[in-house]
Amino acid sequence: MTEVQITNKNSTEKKQVAKFTTPYVLGLVVSYCLAFLFGYHLSSFDIINELYFRNNESREQKAHYDYLSALPFAIPIIVCLVKPFIPLDIPKWYCVLFASHSISFICYIRKNTPLFYIGRFFTGVSLGITPTVVCEYLGKLDQENGGLLICFFQTVLVFGIFVGQISCKLIKTVMFSKILFFILSIVCCFFICFSKYIYNIIIVKSKIIQKTEQTDGTINNQADDTSNNQTDEKTLKEYFQENDAYLTFAYACVVHFAQQMSCINAITVFSNDLLYQIDGKPGQ
């Protein structure tokens, strides 16, 4: 075994050790918690409809539900346009996301329409920022398997949608809904402080690994760069010749299909509510 191969082996082992440290795992937990909250918010507002609006005889009060349901889908457009002009790093964005979720859940506890609008506004803010910030973080967390981690992010998002739908069916009283929203708000407050701590440790460890690899020698590093460039520059045909590529692609298609079906279901429920208000009959 040549000296270059030994150096490459040692560098690979160091990267593998860094991947399975506690900060790495906790970083994934924080990111996937945001994915879960993202999906949960897409369907959990049906709880508000069932407990706060459905049994209210005032049509004016029910009309607010339509605007409240649509608000989180309009706010992300504005947020995505404004985000590039806000100079915040990823840890601070994580704090903003968890704070937005926490505020929205607190606003949902009170049976007050203005607070619902405030809560849905912060929900829209978190929905607009989460995909870009979390996916960027996962790419930096593991450059080799970033695509797979992002695919898992989508999976957890779909899981959050299903949990929100199940919660809507199981929760039958306002008290239980308030308890659930309060617990989720406390969890978000906990992760506000936790996210930056984890991120800083990962950054420090990555810098240590980079410094260690730089001490292995300039010639060996140049050989590593050459080999990495050769392996990274693959055509689409070469990529699909690998065995794992088919499984990854198929898995991504299944997750994407599940997301689309969940969105279609949400749109169907929303349209049925509109038809019910127009003619008093459930939509087909």
Q: Dump pLDDT digits (tens) for 161-183.
A: 888 888 888 887 888 888 888 99
Cβ within 8 Å of residue 144, ≥6 positions away? 15
pTM: 0.66
The pLDDT confidence band at residue 103, using thresholds 50, 70 and 90, is: very high
pLDDT given for residue 144 in this prediction: 75
For the chain, the structural domain boundaries read 22-205
Q: Which of 107, 136, 120 is nearest to 75 (CA)?
A: 120
Band (pLDDT 50/70/90 cuts) for residue 53 is confident
Q: Which residue has the higher pLDDT, 3 or 115?
A: 115
Are the C-beta atoms of 14 and 137 separated by less than 8 Å? no
Neighbours of 114 (CB within 10 A): 10
Mean per-residue pLDDT, 45-66: 70
Are 147 and 248 spatial neighbours (Cβ–Cβ below 8 Å)? yes
**Distance of alpha carbon 155 from alpha carbon 160, whole angstroms:** 9
pLDDT exceeds 70 at position 235: no
| CATH superfamily label, 22-205 | MFS general substrate transporter like domains (1.20.1250.20)
